[in-house]
Amino acid sequence: MSGTDSIDGNPADRFRARPGTLYVVATPLGNLRDVTLRALDVLASADVVAAEDTRVTARLLSHYGIVTRTLSLHAHNEAGRAQDVIARLAAQQSVALVTDAGTPAVSDPGARLVRDAHEAGIPVVAVPGASALTAAVSVAGLRAGSFVFAGFPPAQSKARREWLDAAARLPAAVVMYEAPHRVAATVGDIVASFGDTRALVVAREITKTFETVARMPLGDAVAWFAGDANRLRGEFVLIVDTDEQEAAAATLDETTERWLAALLAELPPARAARLVAAVTGVARDVVYARAMTLKPG
């Protein structure tokens, strides 16, 4: 570790933003104490902070006595503003990219700027920290051994159903974000696409005053939201976990997997599962669930 990367408390050893470098800086989801020491060092020493909403970022900077100049970079101006930021970086200015909350470029503005920086040969450095995605997964208690981050579902009902139908075929837990004014409709569509045996984890207002983390069968989800109007408020992470049968199917031993894969190349899933179950002794419904993840439909 070099001297500039030291985490010693001595102010002389604090990390300083390097010239001509883009820093992708995670900021708190709600609780301002969730910011990292390195993030504060970068925000204080960068030449400029590119922020999704400069008013939101100003509150964070002011709280920690940081006076770095800000400029806006959001979904509606990123295409044009990215070129301005790239020009600053090419002129050896350092830039810290932040979003309103959490990690930039994860269903938030910033991905285009990062891509342009890479294409221009500009160093891009992650300053990791708060993320609604990882925070929600960490408190979900997932059965699934893996998860897929799907971002925001489409706003239109027909497109959303098609999107969810495709997500339901994935052999993993599915993590998505949703806005308060659409969450009730989206949960109803999730039940229609995924069925009611899987579990839904609702993580709402993570790290904020009214934080809620609830895990329930999908069959109970619509009633849960309808039971309290406050449950429809805030920012949401929704996680659809695998059910017990799917979780078991995901853990078939290597020999059973090979038998199943070979038979699926020649037979429909139901027949392949029946034969594998007869040969291996694994429950047919478990083998069939795995077959459907390998060969949906």
Same domain for 116 and 148? no
pLDDT surpasses 60 at 165: yes
pLDDT surpasses 60 at 1: no
We report the CATH number of the domain holding residue 58 as 3.40.1010.10
Average pLDDT over residues 47-74: 97
pLDDT surpasses 50 at 5: no
pLDDT digits (tens, 9 = 90+) for 102-139: 999 999 999 999 999 999 999 999 999 999 999 999 99
Same domain for 19 and 98? yes
Same domain for 143 and 38? no
Same domain for 117 and 189? no
Q: What per-residue confidence (pLDDT) applies to 252?
A: 74
Last residue of a domain, one of 102, 130, 158: 130
How many CB atoms lie under 10 A from the CB of residue 194? Answer: 22
Same domain for 225 and 115? no
Burial 251-284 (b: 16+ CB within 10 A, else e): ebeeebeebbeebbeeeebeebbbbbbeeeebee
Look-up: residue for tokens 């909403």? 53
pLDDT surpasses 90 at 36: yes
Of 232, 31, 2, 24, give the one whose Cα is nearest residue 116. 24
d(CA 246, CA 197): 10
Quick check: 96 and 43 in contact, CB under 8 A?
yes
> Per DSSP, what are the bridge partners of residue 90?
none
Same domain for 104 and 190? no
Same domain for 117 and 12? yes
* Mean pLDDT taken over the chain: 90
Same domain for 107 and 157? no
Same domain for 39 and 58? yes
Identify the band that residue 146 occupies on the pLDDT scale cut at 50, 70 and 90: confident
Last residue of a domain, one of 130, 154, 183: 130
Same domain for 85 and 160? no
Same domain for 72 and 13? yes
What percent of the chain has pLDDT above 90?
72
Q: What per-residue confidence (pLDDT) applies to 3?
A: 40
Same domain for 145 and 79? no
Identify the band that residue 289 occupies on the pLDDT scale cut at 50, 70 and 90: confident
Average pLDDT over residues 98-105: 96
Identify the band that residue 12 occupies on the pLDDT scale cut at 50, 70 and 90: low
pLDDT digits (tens, 9 = 90+) for 238-288: 999 987 556 555 567 788 888 898 999 989 988 988 898 888 887 777 788
Quick check: 232 and 160 in contact, CB under 8 A?
no
Average pLDDT over residues 185-198: 95
Last residue of a domain, one of 78, 111, 130: 130
Structural domain total, the chain = 3
Question: Torsions phi, psi of 255, nearest 5?
Answer: -65, -45
Q: What per-residue confidence (pLDDT) applies to 6?
A: 43
Identify the band that residue 229 occupies on the pLDDT scale cut at 50, 70 and 90: very high
Residue-range definition of the domain harbouring residue 73: 3-130
We report the CATH number of the domain holding residue 220 as 3.30.950.10
Identify the band that residue 28 occupies on the pLDDT scale cut at 50, 70 and 90: very high
> Of 47-56, 65-74, 92-101, 255-264, where does mean pLDDT reach its minimum?
255-264
